[in-house]
Amino acid sequence: MRIGIICYPSYGGSGVLATELGKRLALRGHQVHFISYDRPFKLDRFHENIYYHEVEVIDYPLFKFPPYMMALASKIAEVSKWANLDLIHVHYAIPHSVSAFLAKQLVKDKRLPILTTLHGTDITIVGHEPQFYDITKFSIEESDLVTAVSSSLKEETTKIFKLDKEIRVIYNFVNPEEYHRLSMPGLRERFAEPAEKLIIHVSNFRPVKRLKDVVDVFSLIKKEIPAKLLMVGDGPDGSAIHQYINSIGLSESVWFLGKQERVIELLSISDLCLLPSEKESFGLVALEAMACGVPVVASDTGGLPEVIRDGETGYLLPVGDTKSMAKKALLVLQTEGLWQEMSHRGRLFAANNFHIDRIVEEYEKVYRELLSN
Ligand code: GMT
């Protein structure tokens, strides 16, 4: 098949997922055309069967805001004709599914089915802002097929937009051949003493991630056992959390590592992953942590209960309940044999339920269905 993939190129779960999906589809013999405003950061070298088309947005003094949605629509239409694409797979509804809808109108003489994959914040935060509500609902309804990355997101989308349209669930995935616990001689020692536990948090440092809770849980853990915290990522709450850490005297115990391309290495030296988000449609980092044998303590919200097995591969606690999160973290870190069990179960659970090959086959099935309609 010849597949157009529209995604955000930057760091973030939806862009990573879309890029890894495209790479795997290309390996399976499909021709994949990425269309975005920048080269997806995981497309770092030449790949057979993969093309990248950059969306150029013209700069003109009259335009306070560059017309990206139109530029993307034109590019999708152009590439669809030029490469004779069979279908368009849009990741993240806003504004991608609207641009894909416009592109479809532009190439009226050609069949161009659109699959929209909803990732979470396109619906839960952005999609129901009053000014985006109608257009997001419209673009979902006009897509030929819609998938969501968890049942929780499917239900929430159906409810928020009062949809009759069926939404399918196709979970996010991990590649266990890539994501597994690596031996990283010397790396752990750079961040922690042998007796210290290493806790990790990875995110885009947005308010939804509740960074203060990450630090509060860590602070409670540290009162009981020697530990260090790795903060991986960056974003709008970065400065505030730095200040908070300084104000409670923890700056010597926290490492800020910024955005990292290879979190596998950092996960491989970590003992526990904290994800106390307000909301999380899936929580890709929790899956990646489990694949690397790291138990996860997270909020019992959104799609996280579909990814983490409470009491088996980690623990789920109410949003904001930092005391209980710390208690469970200490339990897994201090109980003889429990960490090993959870780590092992996490790796198995990730590989058995979210294996890249299995999920990519599900997408291929949906593509075939779109082409046969
Ligand atoms: O808002 C974000 O955190 C970014 C967003 C994205 O596009 O990467 O994350 C969402 O999509 C990921 C991939 O499907 C999910 O793993 C995240 O849970 C989801 N974020 C939220 O729901 C907050």
Give the residues surrounding ligand 1 with Cβ less than 6 Å away.
Answer: 12-14, 17, 92, 119-121, 149, 172, 204, 208, 279-284
Query: Measured in angstroms, how far is the CA atom of residue 12 from the centroid of ligand 1?
Result: 7
Q: How confident is the model at residue 254 (pLDDT cuts 50, 70, 90)?
A: very high
CB 168 within 8 A of CB 257: no
Q: What mean pLDDT comes out for the span 34-53?
A: 92
Which atom of ligand 1 is least distant from the CA of 281? Answer: 22
Q: For ligand 1, atom 9, name the residue with the nearest CA.
A: 13
- The pLDDT of residue 87 is above 90: yes
Tell me if 304 sits within 8 A of 360, measured CB to CB. Answer: no
Please report the pLDDT score of residue 268 as a whole number.
97
Q: Worst-scoring range by mean pLDDT, 71-75, 160-164, 330-334?
A: 160-164
In this prediction, residue 11 has a pLDDT band, given cuts at 50, 70 and 90, of low
Intrachain domains 2-173+355-372 and 188-353 with the same fold: yes
Burial grade of 126 (CB within 10 A; 0-12, 13-18, 19 or more): middle
Q: Which CATH superfamily is domain 188-353 in?
A: Glycogen Phosphorylase B; (3.40.50.2000)
* Confidence (pTM): 0.95
Domain ranges of the chain: 2-173+355-372, 188-353
Residue 55 is classified by DSSP as P
The string of pLDDT tens digits covering residues 326-361 is: 999 999 999 989 999 999 999 999 999 999 999 999
Task: Give pLDDT tens digits for 281-294.
Answer: 999 999 999 999 99
Check residue 125 and give its pLDDT.
77
Determine the pLDDT at residue 61: 86
| Domain 2-173+355-372 class in CATH | alpha beta
Q: Which of 97, 118, 119 to mutate to test the pocket of ligand 1 (most atoms within 8 A of CB)?
A: 119
d(CA 50, CA 201): 32
Helix runs in 228-283, H state only: 238-247, 263-268
